[in-house]
Structure 1
Amino acid sequence: MTPSQFELFMRRLIKMKTPKVVVMLVLLTSWLDMPVQNKAPFQVLEYYAGVARIATLAKFLGLRGAAVDIEYGKHNKPKSERPPMDINSDAGLILCIHLILTSDPALALFLAVVCSTWVPVNRGSTQRSILTPLGCEDFPGVRRANKMMSRSVILMLLAVALGGDFYLENPHNSLICMHPRYVWFMESLMELGIPTYKITFWMRKWGSLSFKHTWIWSISIIISILDAGSLTQKEKNSSISLTTRYVDKHGRKKFKGNSKLK
């Protein structure tokens, strides 16, 4: 990022009413002397990448991309330290911010934020609802998920201020979009006249082995092409099930995730 681009970037952050602590965090990160293997800017970033399908596809298309996931480098760290790419750690967050600061203004940022505490199957334990989207923070898993989404909002904010797009993925009926920080982010974009789009689609239409009804949010209307229509009976019959349905001793119908859910 050139000095003039960085100045424009910071002006946009201020225009978006970014909290001062986030502005300071960005400045401190920009002043760090971090090694850069290749000075060409990143065009695609994939966070919570898993097997990094998107980053791999970007490379195949001739784009420079990078993938970040908590599992990367996890087995090479000392037992006393956190995984180097854990976004909830200080080092992990700084790394994610640094990657955005070394990206092209037309950056495409993909985030498949961990969904386990946000989906209906865990509502009984997390106590999340539309009225209480942050759930019961007495549970460490709920606290970690809330922190993770809050930090993800920072990264999406930076991507937009840079001039790029973000693509946030979560399962259908996830309450992640009700996180107060994300609501604030959407309202900030609205005040600036930047529309946000949401698309619902079946991942079975795109090669997934399960139905996986999915949501994606973005400021790019291009996500509308993901809607490939309703599932056919053949697609339903050939899909694997991620849940086991049963009737409890009281005669109530219930379901739970099976070994294929992860």
Structure 2
Amino acid sequence: MRAKRPTPSRSPFWTSIWKNLNKPDQPVLELRGVSKQYAGGVEAVRDVSLTLHAGKLLALTGTSGCGKTSLLKLINRLEEPSGGSVVYEGLDVRQSDAFRLRRQIGWVMQGDGLFPHFTVRQNIGVVPRLLEWDAATIELRVRELMQLVQLDVDAFAERYPHELSGGQRQRVGVARALAGKPDLVLMDEAFSALDPLTRDDLQRDFKRLQTELGFSAVLVTHDMAEALILADEIAVMRDGEIVQSGSPAELMANPVDDYVSGLLDTPRRQMRAIAELGG
């Protein structure tokens, strides 16, 4: 009798390895000459081309109003591009139903965006319910994610958002974004409203989760230090365009102009100011 072929482990580590073995070369996300023009001729995004591979984090950074959030909204069809194409897992997103697409892509917004009249358990289970998972599977997923984001199930599952601290709410927001097992998570200034200690803890925990679960992410941030710490690649935007992209080390070694250099120097200027205070 032929031996039964072993089933791959369902642990987060093996899940991430299995995903990447099955799709070794196909980018998770491609932006091909993407533009967005609003009424009155305002061009928020201009001819942006970027590629994001499996398991990587891309940070979009730059000054306020440079087009970062507009670009993020084009990825999951909260807005439609005026030109170019957004390709998610090999398919132009315009060929996908917008609501179905958003259920396949995680979203962590500034603040937390939790439903105030839902418990933590209900908030995390929103997308699995929309995907019509059965109740037992949803409960297992909620418990798994609460453990991963370090929220005790017995202590927090039945609490409402107003009963949580800012950091706890954002942990629930991250868990909710991951609940449908997305290959891609979009984050819009996800940590910016938190105090420095909580922000530092959540940044470390998010990077750990990304490594364990193997998903890709696009992070919009105006904080260059955050981009340098978290990102595999950084794309610097100005006036709707990408002025430079590359790894943190590449940007630090060869900033293309004074604008990029000034953004990169911000963390160092802050450290120098702190050092001067100490005499």
Which structure would you say has the larger RCO, counting Cα contacts within 8 Å and 6 or more residues apart? 2
- TM-score where L is the length of structure 2: 0.33
- TM-score where L is the length of structure 1: 0.35
